[in-house]
A and B are shown apart, each in its own frame.
Chain A
Amino acid sequence: DGDASPTVSMAELDHLSQIISKSHLETCQYLKEELQQMSWQSFLQDEVESYQSKPREVMWQLCALKITEAIQYVVEFAKRIDGFMDLCQNDQIVLLKAGSLEVVFVRMCRVFDSQNNAVYFDGKFAGPDVFKALGCDDLITSVFDFAKSLSSLHLSEDELALFSAFILLSADRSWLQEKLQVEKLQQKTQLALQHVLQKNQREDGVMNKLRCKVSALRSLCSRHTEKLSAFRAIYPDIVRSHFPPLYKELFG
């Protein structure tokens, strides 16, 4: 009948939340235990300088590799989301092409140290200055600002899991063939997220704050694509021969 609003019981929402949280924890690059044991050690000044003095293309290549590794975990997460693999193959690809990097940015807040404005990268905690050689300071600043702002919400793992699934199941992506089916999945995920927020006794405004993050994520990803195009215009051979094939497939 064209109505996408699903009727879902509390028990179903609990079940959905549990499955998505489990999938999130199983597919996070860094386990909770690893995070607890992390020494949160920052790069020393000479190490920062060594990253800064790398040729631009070498730093781009390193970051493309790290992003690709993180995306592979997000693909595994997507596969374990109830209903994702029931979507047609076209839509699975559309959702991951558009949403996988957004989820990497969301997951970044798990390995972000707000006090030092540093993110876990290549074995230690790195501030924005480590990425200087990339030549896109504005994008890097925005990524760090995003991580800081999302971290300030202090989302629990189950909230992060459901928010990540909500992002991946965005029904307004272009080129979806079975939009209504994606919409139903997203609405169910949103209900589960609201249910968990309520259960965790979060204040009412959190869901609205998370909705604002959706547009921030889109802006970050489109700016990443712009920066990549600009980089590729100067170094087409580096991208062609040295960038991970999955990265090129998703962002090329």
Chain B
Amino acid sequence: LKEKHKILHQLLQNSTS
């Protein structure tokens, strides 16, 4: 699932601003 949702995964990894 992570592989198919790279952008979402990236957004989740980014620190909260």
**A residues within 8 Å of B by Cβ?**
72, 75-76, 79-80, 85, 89-90, 92-94, 96-97, 175, 245-246, 249-250
Which residues from A are CB-within-8-Å of B7? 245-246, 249
* Category for how many chain B residues contact A: 10 to 19
User: Which of B6, B8, B12, B17 has the most chain A CB atoms inside 10 A of its CB?
Assistant: B8
Tally inter-chain residue pairs, CB-CB below 8 A: 39
Question: Do A93 and B9 touch across chains, with their CB atoms under 8 A apart?
Answer: yes
Q: Which residue of B lies closest to A23 (CB)?
A: B16
* One of A76, A85, A89, A94 near B9 (C-beta < 8 A): A89
- Binding site of A, secondary structure by majority: helix, strand, loop or mixed? helix
- Binding site of B, secondary structure by majority: helix, strand, loop or mixed? helix
Question: Do B12 and A92 touch across chains, with their CB atoms under 8 A apart?
Answer: yes
Say how far A55's CB is from chain B's closest CB, in angstroms: 27
Question: Do B12 and A93 touch across chains, with their CB atoms under 8 A apart?
Answer: yes
Given contacts A75-B12, A93-B9, A94-B1, 20 further A-B contacts (CB under 8 A): A72-B11, A75-B8, A79-B12, A79-B16, A85-B12, A90-B2, A93-B1, A93-B2, A93-B5, A93-B8, A96-B8, A96-B12, A97-B5, A97-B8, A246-B7, A246-B11, A249-B5, A249-B6, A249-B8, A250-B8
Q: Top 5 nearest A-B pairs by Cβ distance? A: A246-B7, A75-B11, A93-B5, A93-B1, A249-B5
Which residues from B are CB-within-8-Å of A175? 1
Q: Which residue of A lies closest to B10 (CB)?
A: A246
CA distance A72 to B11 in the complex (A): 8
Say how far B11's CB is from chain A's closest CB, in angstroms: 5
Which residues from A are CB-within-8-Å of B17? 76
Which residues from A are CB-within-8-Å of B1? 90, 93-94, 175
Say how far A90's CB is from chain B's closest CB, in angstroms: 5
Question: Do B4 and A249 touch across chains, with their CB atoms under 8 A apart?
Answer: yes
**Given contacts A89-B9, A93-B9, are A76 and B16 in contact (CB under 8 A)?**
yes
CA distance A76 to B12 in the complex (A): 8
CA distance A245 to B6 in the complex (A): 10
Say how far B14's CB is from chain A's closest CB, in angstroms: 9
CA distance A92 to B14 in the complex (A): 14
Listed by A's residue number, 19 A-B pairs whose Cβ atoms lie within 8 Å are A72-B11, A75-B12, A76-B16, A79-B16, A89-B12, A90-B1, A90-B2, A93-B1, A93-B5, A93-B8, A93-B9, A93-B12, A96-B12, A245-B7, A246-B7, A246-B8, A249-B4, A249-B6, A249-B8
